[in-house]
Structure 1
Amino acid sequence: MSMPPDTRSTPTRSDRPLRFSHVGIVGKYHAPGSRDAVDEIARFLHDEGCDVSLEQETSLNTSLTQYPALSVPEMGQHCDLALVVGGDGTMLGIGRQLARFGVPLVGINQGRLGFITDIPFEDFRAKLRPILRGSFEDDPRSLMAASVWRDGLCVFEATALNDVVVNRGGAASMIELRVEVDGHFVANQRADGLIIASPTGSTAYALSAGGPLLHPAIGGWLMVPIAPHTLSNRPVVLPGHSEIAVEIVSGKEASANFDMQSFTSLLHGDRIVVRRSEHALRLLHPVGWSYFDTLRKKLHWNEGV
C-alpha cells in the first residue's frame, strides 16, 4: 500500500532561529549616503526579528532616533553581534574597542579596499541572512598591545590591529633605533622608521614598505624597516609570542602611531614595547569566504587573464 505524499514544506534557511538576536550597528556616519545605508540595514535587521541598536555617535550623526543608542561599552555588554558599515578604518576603530567583550563583527563595505569589511553593501541582505542564523566562517584576528616607556615609567598605551609604526618627523634625516626581540639584541637600525605589523596589517603599510603577506591564521608578527640605510636590513617574520622593544637612539621628532589612528611623540631613550594582546578580534564572514579570494580581488591579481 503506497503512502500519501508528504505535503509538509521543507524548512528554509530563513526558518532557522536567530543565532544573533541583538545587533548593534556602527556607521561611517560622515560619509555620503551613510545615513540611508544604516537605515536600510537597520530596517532589514528589524524585519528579520532582531533587536537593533546604534552606536552612540552613529545615532547622533544620522538622527535615526527610533533605535536605542548605546555607547561602545554598552554595545559590548548587550549586543550579540556588531555590524560595521564603512571601510577598514571604521572596523579598526571599533574592533579594538569591542574585542575585549568578545562581540563578533561583520563588515559591510562602503569604503575602498575592504580587506576586513568584505561584504559589498548591495549584497548585504543575501549575505547577512544566513550569518544571523549561525552560518558563517569564523576568523579570529590577533591584536597588539603597545606601550611607551620613559625613565622606567609607562607614559602611553594603545592597542593595534594592523600595526605599530615608529618613524621620523619632518626633518630630512633618518632615525636610529635599537631593536630587541624577547630581550635579545637584534641590531641598531638607521632608517626612516620601523613597522611592526600583525597578519591583518600585512596588507597595509607593511606591504607598501616591501613586507610579505601573512595569512591571518599565522600566529606571527612582521618587522619591516622603512627605507633602511643598510639594504640588507630586510623584513623579518617573528613568532606571535615574541615581545619586541624599540628604543629611540637618535633622530629628530620621532613618533609612534598605532593603526594610524592614535599617536604619540617620542624622545631619545624612549622604549616602545609590543606584545600580543590578551584580547582578539572575532570577524565573521559568509560561508565560503576565502582569504585568497580577498587578495585576488583587492590586489587585482590575474587581471587581463
Structure 2
Amino acid sequence: MKIGIYGQFYHKNSEQYIQIILDSLRKKEHEVLIEEDFMDIINHNDGVDTTSHFKTFTQLDSSYDFFFSIGGDGTILKSITYVQDLDIPIVGINTGRLGFLATIQKEDIAKSINQILQGEYSISERSLLQLTSEPHNPELSNLNFALNEVAINRKNTTSMIKVDTEVDDKYLTSYWSDGLILSTPTGSTGYSLSCGGPVIEPSSKSLVITPIAPHNLSARPLVLPDSSKITLQVSGREKSYLVSLDSRIATFTNNTRLTVQKAPFTIKLVQLLEDSFIKTLRKKLLWGEDKRNLKQ
C-alpha cells in the first residue's frame, strides 16, 4: 500500500503524533512518502525519529492508496490541491482543535490507522465548486476549485461593493454588501455559517449563496441545487476586488464576469464507522449540552 503524508506546520506537541503515525505505518511495512516541505519542517524540529529513510514527493499520482493530512481543517483544504481529481481518499488526522473535516482525533491515532488499514471505514464524498472567468485570470492557473467556498470580497476600501448575480442565466438580484459567499455543503459550517448561512448535510446536492454584511437587509442566504450555474459581476468605487477559493486568493478587475459551477470531480474523505457528520456537528456546536454544567 502506498501512502502520502502531508502537513503545513506543527501544532503543540505535533511531533509525538507524527511519530505515532510513522510508527503505525512502518509496522505494517507500507510504502510511505512525505511531502517535501513537510519533511523539511519535521527535520527542523526535534522529537521525530528520522533515522529511517522516508522518500519525499512534490506531486501525487494515481498510484497512491491514501493521503494522510496532519493538522486541522485548513490542512485538508490545502490537501485537495495535491489530490485534485486523482480520487485518492484523504485521511484527516486532527492535531489541533475539533474540526469538521479532520475528524480522527490525536488521542486515537494508532487505533484509527489500524482500523483504516483493515478496511474498517466509509467514504464521505464531497462536491467542490469550480470558478472560471471572462477574461481569464492567470492567477487562477489550474487550481480553480474550492472544497469549502468561493468568496467575493472588497479590496482596499471600506465601501460596499455591488455583486450582480444571475442563476442559470436569469437575473437574481444585486447584492450591496461587503462581499458574497458561494458555499458547498462542506463549507456551510465555515465562513458561510459565520455570516448567517444554514448548516447543510455534506451529501446534500446543493450550494448556498450567503451575502456578507448586506446593505439591502432583505437579502438572505439562498440554497440552490448544485446543478445551478451562478454568474457574478462586481462593481464598486475601487477598480478591483478579491476572490478566495478556500485559502487561495486572486485579484480581479471590475469588468470580469465570474462563473461558479459544481466541479467535475469530488473529494473522498475517509470516515471511521463510528463517526458521522451529525456526531461531529453535535460536538462542535455543543448541541445538547447543559450550559449549567460547564465551568465558568
Q: Following TM superposition, by how much is the alpha carbon of 1:111 offset from its aligned partner in structure 2, in angstroms? A: 2.2
Alignment of structure 1 residues 248-267 onto 2, 5 Å: 248-252=234-238, 253-259=240-246, 261-267=247-253
User: Hey, what's the Cα distance between the residues in 2 that align with 1:141 and 1:272?
Assistant: 23
Aligned residue among 184, 192, 200 for 2:178: 192
Deviations 1:56-97 (A, max 9, x none): 211222124711111232xx3332111111000000001233
User: 2:21, 2:72 → 1: CA distance?
Assistant: 16
Amino acid at match of 2:251: S
Match of residue 38 from structure 2: 58
- Give, in whole Å, the separation in 1 of the partners of 2:41 and 2:12: 12
CA distance in 1, matches of 2:35, 2:73: 17
Do the aligned residues in 2 keep the contact of 1:147 with 1:156 (CA within 8 Å)?
no
* 4+ long deviations beyond 6 Å: none
Contact 1:176 1:251 survives alignment (8 Å) = no
Q: Residue 281 of structure 2 aligns to a residue in which SS?
A: helix
Larger Rg: 1
Selected match of 1:277 from 243, 263, 288 = 263
1:156 Cα deviation from its structure 2 partner: 4.3
Counterpart in 2 of 1:212? 198
- Count of paired positions: 280
Pairwise CA distance, 1:215: 0.4
Q: Residue 241 and residue 96 in structure 1: after superposition, are their counterparts in 2 closer, same or farther (change >3 A)?
A: farther
Q: 1:29 & 1:189 partners in 2: Cα distance?
A: 38
Among 9, 14, 30, which residue is 1:34 paired with? 14
1:159-174 to structure 2, matched below 5 A, reads: 159-174=145-160
Contact 1:145 1:159 in 2 (8 A): yes
Deviation at 1:299, TM superposition (A): 1.2
Tell which deviates more after alignment, 31-40 or 156-165. Answer: 31-40
Residue 51 of structure 1: CA displacement? 1.9
2:116 to 115, 128, 131: 131
TM-score norm. by structure 2 comes to 0.89
The one-letter amino acid paired with 1:227 is A
Match of 2:245, as an amino acid? Answer: F
**Pairwise CA RMSD:** 1.7
Gaps of at least 5 residues in structure 1 are 1-20
Distance 2:72 2:245 in 1: 17
- For 2:275 and 2:63, the matched residues in 1 are separated by 28
Asked whether the 8 Å contact 1:177–1:188 carries over to 2, the reply is yes
Q: Would you say the 8 A contact 2:17–2:109 is kept in 1? A: no
Q: Is the 8 A contact 1:96 1:161 kept in 2?
A: no
Residue 64 (structure 2) pairs with residue 79 (structure 1): yes
| TM-score in terms of structure 1 length | 0.87
Counterpart AA for 2:78: G
**Distance change >3 Å, CA 294–CA 145, structure 1 → 2:** same
